[in-house]
Amino acid sequence: MSRLLVRRPSPRLADGELTHLERVPADAALALAQWEGYVDAFRTRGWEIVPLPAADDHPDGVFVEDVVVIFSDLAVITRPGADSRRGEIETAQGVVEASGIETAAIQAPGTLEGGDVLKVGRTVYVGRSSRTNDEGIAQLRTLLTPRGWDVVAVPITKVLHLKTGVTALPDGTVIGYEPLVDDVSVYPEFLGIAEPEGSAVVVLDEHSVLISAAAPRTADLLRDRGLDVVAVPISEFEKLEGCVTCLSVRVRD
């Protein structure tokens, strides 16, 4: 059974870090309801839900993907580029270690956030962003190369994280809103979409993806490609530069 690691949103969500967006009010109660709907979308498809301890003092703690990245049988504990987020690591690491997965950690002066890591087959694209530096990428490459992964650094200047701008479909096609992608030629197969909110998809299985409800045209495009598309509202997280990928860590059997 596939497992989903999640952490409920903090009541202080609206105070989270922002890099490229202007701050607008976020509704903590609505965010909690949207998070519960997001989790239910996985639960109803057979995913086991693994809750991380609450981190109400950390406004960005709900974005759990940034602190743990799973590579088959290895969990990499990251070192966020935002100082305010480093307190999120300990509780997430404890849950991962208790699961029996081998772990490794990014060390200072390296920084790495999971939102900058996109896996396509055995290739790992890593965004060199304001949150992930060259040393973090080098440490990740040292960990993964012996395990048969190819790590490719990608410049990121237009969005917060790599996966804010691009993600991948089950067949490996990378999709993104082209005006927010620094270099589409990096990817062997790229599909441009009409909405920035549609750039992020979570692969549920080889025939299904989860996407933001704010991207109906992208959802239609993906359905035309034969995919089952599950759309969930995540407006309150999008106000904080979040998306459907960063709200969970997926551990696949």
**pLDDT of 33:** 98
Residue 131 counted as an annotated binding residue: yes
Contact 87, 41 (CB under 8 A): no
> In percent, how much of the chain has pLDDT > 90?
94
Residues 108 and 76: their CA atoms lie apart, in Å, by 14
Residues 205 and 82: their CA atoms lie apart, in Å, by 32
User: pTM score, two decimals?
Assistant: 0.95
pLDDT tens by residue, 36-91: 999 999 999 999 999 999 999 999 999 999 999 999 999 999 999 999 999 999 99
What is the CATH number assigned to the segment(s) 3-251? Answer: 3.75.10.10
**pLDDT of 253:** 73
Per-domain boundaries in the chain: 3-251
Residue 227 counted as an annotated binding residue: no
User: Is position 207 annotated as part of the catalytic site?
Assistant: no
**Angle, vertex CA 222, rays to CA 242 and CA 26, nearest 5:** 20
Residue 191, strand partner residues: 175
The torsion defined by the Cα of 140, 143, 146 and 149, in degrees rounded to 10, comes to -40
> In percent, how much of the chain has pLDDT > 70?
100
pLDDT tops 90 at residue 203? yes
Please tell me which residue in 20, 58, 161, 243 is annotated as part of the active site.
161
**pLDDT of 43:** 97
Average pLDDT of the chain? Answer: 96
Residue 204 counted as an annotated binding residue: no
Residue 65 counted as an annotated binding residue: yes
**How far are the Cα atoms of 32, 64, 80, 88 from residue 8, in angstroms, in the given order?**
7, 10, 19, 13
Residues 83 and 80: their CA atoms lie apart, in Å, by 7
Residue 118 counted as an annotated binding residue: no
Q: Which of 21-25, 35-39, 96-100, 215-219 has the lowest mean pLDDT?
A: 21-25
User: Is position 20 annotated as part of the catalytic site?
Assistant: no
pLDDT tens by residue, 127-157: 999 999 999 999 999 999 999 999 999 999 9
Span 174-191, mean pLDDT? 97
Please tell me which residue in 20, 207, 243, 246 is annotated as part of the active site.
246
How far, in whole angstroms, is CA 6 from its chain's centroid?
12
**pLDDT of 18:** 73
